[in-house]
Structure 1
Amino acid sequence: MTAPAEVVLRPLRESDAERMALLHVAVWEEAYGGLMAPEILAARRASLDERVAGWRNAAASSLAATTVAEHDGDLVGFVSVGPGRDEDLDLEVELWALYARAAWWGRGLGHRMLTHALAARASYLWVLDGNERATGFYRRQGFVADGTERHEPEGRELRMVRR
């Protein structure tokens, strides 16, 4: 079994756009397959060209810093951290995204990516209600639900903070 230490963490590059679009769709399918409507996931897969353009733009000019996890030439995860977007919260840093392929779950890669991107900084994130695997992971990293929720097309999301 490959150890997370053998995975290279590096900044997102514009040349990663196509692989990032495919990775992003795949990790959503793996993470949310039983938690959201199949048509939402199908629509994401059907819009790959738009996703490639979005990742190319993100690499060139996003407010978030995205780090990819690469193993043997394959992208196996990513983490994006940027300025907080919630006006009702006094935290300046938001974890915009943290995903790893299912084959890497439980092997320490998520922790490594989170530590790389945030260290111990106070921050917050949104997690899909019912995603117990992710919620448990974030709790182990010091995040707690603050009672705030929002409703998105994908489902109800809960905010978690770490101070």
Structure 2
Amino acid sequence: MLIRAAVADDAEALTDLHLDVWEEAYAGLMPDSIFVERRSERATRIDRWRTNLGTGPFSTLVAEADEPGRLLGFASAGPGRDTETGLPQLELSALYVRAESYGTGLGHRLLSAAIGSAAAYLWVLDGNQRATAFYERQGFVFDGETKPEPLGLHRRMVRG
């Protein structure tokens, strides 16, 4: 498996990965209608990935399987969007792996490649116990901040 920087040519495979991993990670935490709606917007999502990979402030890494073009996970990180004083300047905006890769160390490898051991923060969907436990093992703790979103309550985790 290869972890590398995502490029615009990855937009379609990255979109399909993103759609799949959302369904795997958030099944039971979000209504199925959300997943159906996201899939109906696939073409727009491909265009958005293509644009963001070339111009966005966040860097995205992908984990490519031995099978060419098949992505197993991705991580995106960059300058923090939250502005509170004392908050780390680095934000992990996304980290997802396919369910078939749970427990293999791939998530840890992507996290290490994306932010290393740097101070950083992230937002996690309330109730996502798998993600919460993973981030706690990596030294992240909840700081008490929450953000109500249309798709559910998000809780901030910080690693100093």
Same fold? TM cut 0.5: yes
Counterpart pick for 2:23 among 25, 29, 32? 29
Counterpart pick for 1:62 among 48, 52, 56? 56
C-alpha separation in 2, matches of 1:111 and 1:20: 19
The 4+ residue runs of structure 1 with deviation greater than 6 A are: none
The answer to whether structure 1 residue 78 and structure 2 residue 67 are counterparts is no
SS in 1 for 2:11: helix
**Corresponding letter in the other structure for 2:132:** T
Matched with 1:127 is 124
**Corresponding letter in the other structure for 2:108:** H
The answer to whether structure 1 residue 148 and structure 2 residue 145 are counterparts is yes
Q: Map Cα deviations across residues 59-91 of structure 1 (whole Å, 9 max, x no partner).
A: 111100000000022111000001100112531
SS in 2 for 1:146: strand
RMSD between aligned alpha carbons? 0.7
Tell me how many residue pairs correspond in the alignment: 157
C-alpha separation in 2, matches of 1:86 and 1:156: 16
Give how far 1:40 is off.
1.1
Instruction: State the identity as a percent.
Output: 49
C-alpha separation in 2, matches of 1:29 and 1:114: 21
Give how far 1:115 is off.
0.6
**Corresponding letter in the other structure for 1:87:** T
Structure 1 spans left out of the alignment, 5+ residues: 1-6
TM-score normalised by L of structure 1 = 0.94
C-alpha separation in 2, matches of 1:42 and 1:152: 18
Counterpart pick for 2:114 among 91, 113, 117? 117
The answer to whether structure 1 residue 87 and structure 2 residue 83 are counterparts is yes
Q: Map Cα deviations across residues 32-64 of structure 1 (whole Å, 9 max, x no partner).
A: 011111111111111001100011011111100
Structure 2 spans left out of the alignment, 5+ residues: none
The answer to whether structure 1 residue 43 and structure 2 residue 1 are counterparts is no
Q: Map Cα deviations across residues 100-127 of structure 1 (whole Å, 9 max, x no partner).
A: 0000001100000001111110000000
C-alpha separation in 1, matches of 2:81 and 2:31: 26
TM-score normalised by L of structure 2 = 0.96
Aligned pairs for 1:95-114 (under 5 A) are: 95-114=92-111
Q: Map Cα deviations across residues 102-154 of structure 1 (whole Å, 9 max, x no partner).
A: 00001100000001111110000000000000000000000000000001111
Counterpart pick for 2:4 among 7, 10, 19? 10
C-alpha separation in 2, matches of 1:38 and 1:153: 14
